[in-house]
Amino acid sequence: MASSTTVLLRQLHEQSQREVIARARAQFHGSSEEFLTLADEYEALAPRLRGRFLETLGLSSEDFESSQGTPLSLAVSEETGRFLHNMVLAHKPARILELGSSCGVSTLYFADALRMLGSGMVVATELDAGKCAHLRSHVRMAGLDAYVDLREGDVFQTISELDGTFDMVFIDVWANTYLNLFKQTERLLHAGSIVLADNMYTAEDAVRPYKRYLDNDPRFSTTTLDFESGVEFTVVVS
């Protein structure tokens, strides 16, 4: 990974973490000492239990964004980002579809891997105009413009306008839209396509219809990877 991209990603990860902590603290009804104790408990939990833990407190990343005026960047974790980066290097996709790009952290991981391979394109989708502006800036700073095609607007509308097929798809939008979004995306997949979906632990109830759909359809082979937020790893069999 280019040193400039590494530095930028480190800064973006730190910024995202500060945002999430500040927003959670603002919504938590208790003392600072109680909040710190809960934060320590959260860190000690196994990843698959963290979503339930947040629910007991009435907290979730989607609540953070919808209940306040300024949208969160909601970046993927560094661990997840490095996994995405390595998946690209291993799978060598010509076309990647990113559904929900936010400010472009995952986009940078994808695009940097494509740069290392010397070819490929990630089609990034994002509704929020402010986030799109940040994404464009981050991609430009990293020198990755040649590998990113940003589509600003409603993700369902964007998908309806796409053609051809994609070798890899990353889903990281509102969790309760996963199933409908995936069904609209199916026509863009081919045997061997990889579909990765974030937040399988942190939004467990909302993504359950999506998970059930994959589990019950023999066209897909799927498993949940034990990252902090939970990542569904699906391969299109036929």
Helices (H), ranges, the chain: 3-27, 32-44, 47-56, 61-66, 78-91, 105-117, 129-141, 155-160, 178-185, 204-215
pTM: 0.86
Render pLDDT for 101-120 as a digit per residue (tens, 0 to 9).
999 999 999 999 999 999 99
Q: Which residue has the tokens 């979730």?
A: 60
Same domain, 90 and 202: yes
Same domain, 173 and 94: yes
Domain-located, residue 95: yes
Same domain, 58 and 96: no
Nearest to 106 by CA among 127, 77, 131, 128: 77
Token output for 110: 């994808």
Render pLDDT for 31-57 as a digit per residue (tens, 0 to 9).
888 878 877 877 777 766 766 666 666
Burial class (CB in 10 A: 0-12, 13-18, 19+), 164: exposed
Nearest to 102 by CA among 178, 20, 173, 185: 173
Domain-located, residue 71: no
Token output for 143: 């020198």
Same domain, 61 and 115: no
Q: Which of 20-24, 70-74, 232-236 has the lowest mean pLDDT?
A: 70-74
Assess whether pLDDT exceeds 70 at residue 73. no
Domain-located, residue 113: yes
- What CATH number is associated with residue 97? 3.40.50.150
Domain boundary (39, 66, 93) is at 66
Higher pLDDT, 44 or 20: 44
